[in-house]
Each structure stands twice: as C-alpha cells, then as structure tokens.
Amino acid sequence: AKESFSWEEYLKETSSTPAPPSFFRQSRVPPSNDFKVGMKLEVHDPRNSTSVCIATVMGMTGVRLRLRLDGSDNTNDFWRLVDSSDIQPIGTCEKNGDMLQPPLGFRMNASSWPMFLLRTLNGAEMAPATAFKKEPPPLSQNNFKPGMKLEAVDKKNPYLICPATIGEVKGGEVFVMFDGWRGAFDYWCQHHSRDLFPVGWCSVTKHSLQKPGNSVNLPKNLHVITPAHIPSKPSRRSIPAPFRLPNPLPPLPVRKGVRGRRPKS
Ligand code: MLZ
C-alpha cells in the first residue's frame, strides 16, 4: 500500500518546527498553473543564462513546468515555477530588440538555426501571457535558523521535492539537509532560492512530496563515533522507518584519545 507522508506526525516525532512561510521567496497564495503540455515559451538557457531560447512544456507537476529547449536533446530537461522570471511569452525577446538563440548543444549545424526557429514556431501553441505569473521579490533578510523544517528541490533529482532541515546559516546562505539521506543530497544555496518551500507547499500546490529517507543523519565529522545502538553501517533497509535520531543530534560525550583523531574511512 502507498502510505503517504504526514508532516504533522513527522514534526511531532522529530519534535521540530517548520520555517515560517514568510521566510521563503514564494507567494503566500501559490499561483495557478495555466500552462498545458506542448505549449511553447521563451526561457533563459540554464546552461548559458545570457541567451534566450524557445522551450516546450514537456510535463507539469503542481506549479512547476518540465521544460525542454527546442533543438536540444531529451536528456537536459529542467524545471521552472510558473512564476519564475526565467520564463516569458514568445515574442518578448524580439520586443526587447534581442534575438532568440539556439540552445547550448544545438543538435544541428548553427547555420540551420534560423530555419529551425521558423519551423519550430510555425503552428505551435504558444503559452498565453496570462499564464506567466509575477515572481515574488527576494526577501532582504535571511531569517532561517538551524533545525527548521522545509520542503526543498533535490538538485540531483530536480523533479523531486523532499522534506529537509536547515543545517547551517551563513550570511545570505543556508545549508539544506535532506532528512534521512546522510548528507548525500545536501547543498548550500541562497536563502531566497526558488527551490525552497514552506512545509505544506506540495500539498497545497498538488506536487508530490517524497518521504524522508531511511538513513540516520549523522554529521559528517562524527561518523567514526557510532553510538552502540546504531548498526555501524546503517543501510537504508536495516533501520526501521520509525527510528530516527533527533536532528540536530545532542552533543556526544567526548572520549579521551578520540579528540583530534582523523577518521580512517
Ligand atoms: N532513486 C534515488 C532517489 C533519491 C532521492 C533523494 N532525495 C533527497 C536514490 O535512491 O538514490
């Protein structure tokens, strides 16, 4: 049976609190998704952000669009929110006196770009201007505190949004730790990153939310000192799901002779 993840229970279980919605660069009332699969739009090439390209909506989940650059391959799809300032209606570029560019890795000869452009736009369904929503302005202050829970895009699997915890805060940046994945997917980003969402965002926007992984989150510098009740090699399968260490971990007793020794692994 497909059991779903409940923030309410999980927050109790981990005795943690969500980061307040006002800390995020997201609309309080999420925008509506008025795009349809197959529609075309203009987008800044994620691998070359100064150039504006044509993209097609290949899929959608919640208020996120799965985009593919016309003329590129099918292995570099990327995701944008419907209120991202990276996307705009077809014609915007020309109106600004700029030229549409072939994507980085255009699969044809560069000289065939003008003809390709004509053909790709001919008869295409263009996303209407009303589908593009205004991007919320960045917040000036980084208000996040370590331990606060949130929902975050897994940058290694960008179609996934997963339960996460703020691990560290440094100036305008936060360290996003994915619950139950032992650091494998963690990253630093700006506090106003569009990849961070308040707890409940997926449910409100009808985006699927992953469950936390099954691995114990151990701070990297502590992995050699394993408390007796944890198997020395925690695997995703070996620890029953309800078992979770408090996060952040309480300080471990410092044993004589251990301090300063480098882990062997
Ligand atoms: N199939 C992948 C997905 C991991 C997603 C983790 N997200 C924080 C794996 O099991 O490695």
Ligand 1 centroid – CA 76 distance (Å):
18
* pLDDT value of position 251: 66
* pLDDT value of position 239: 42
Nearest CA to ligand 1 atom 10: 213
Nearest CA to ligand 1 atom 5: 157
Nearest CA to ligand 1 atom 3: 157
What is the Cα–Cα distance from 196 to 178, expressed in whole angstroms?
12
What is the Cα–Cα distance from 71 to 14, expressed in whole angstroms?
47
Atom of ligand 1 nearest to the CA of 184: 8
Q: Residue 251 — left, alpha, or beta (φ > 0 → left; ψ -120 to 50 → alpha)?
A: beta
Atom of ligand 1 nearest to the CA of 180: 8
What are the tens digits of pLDDT across the range 154-205?
Answer: 999 999 999 999 999 999 999 999 999 999 999 999 999 999 999 999 999 9
* pLDDT value of position 136: 98
- Residue list, ligand 1 pocket, CB within 6 Å: 154, 157, 160, 162, 178, 181, 185, 210
DSSP secondary structure string for all residues of 11-66: HHHTT--BPPGGGSSS-SSPPP----TT-EEEEE-TTSTTSEEEEEEEEEETTEEE
What is the Cα–Cα distance from 83 to 163, expressed in whole angstroms?
22
Ligand 1 centroid – CA 151 distance (Å):
15
Atom of ligand 1 nearest to the CA of 210: 7
Ligand 1 centroid – CA 135 distance (Å):
29
Q: Tell me the two tokens of residue 168.
A: 């560290």
Q: Which pLDDT tens digits describe the chain residue by residue (265 residues)?
A: 456 899 999 999 999 999 999 999 999 999 999 999 999 999 999 999 899 999 999 999 999 999 999 999 999 999 999 999 999 999 999 999 999 999 999 999 999 999 999 999 999 999 999 999 999 999 989 999 999 999 999 999 999 999 999 999 999 999 999 999 999 999 999 999 999 999 999 999 999 999 999 876 555 554 444 455 444 454 454 444 444 555 666 665 555 554 545 555 5
**Which ranges in the chain belong to alpha helices (H)?**
7-13, 92-95, 113-121, 201-205
Instruction: Kindly provide the ipTM of the predicted complex, given to two decimals.
Output: 0.94
Ligand 1 centroid – CA 98 distance (Å):
40
Give the DSSP letter of residue 229: T
pTM above 0.90, yes or no: no
- Residue 163 pairs in a beta bridge with 151
**What single letter denotes the amino acid at residue 165?**
T
CA distances from 126 to 32, 40, 57, 75, 113 (A): 18, 5, 10, 23, 19
Give the DSSP letter of residue 126: B
CB atoms < 10 A from the CB of 75, how many?
Answer: 7
| CA 151 to centroid of chain Cα atoms | 8
What is the Cα–Cα distance from 45 to 169, expressed in whole angstroms?
30
What is the Cα–Cα distance from 143 to 139, expressed in whole angstroms?
9
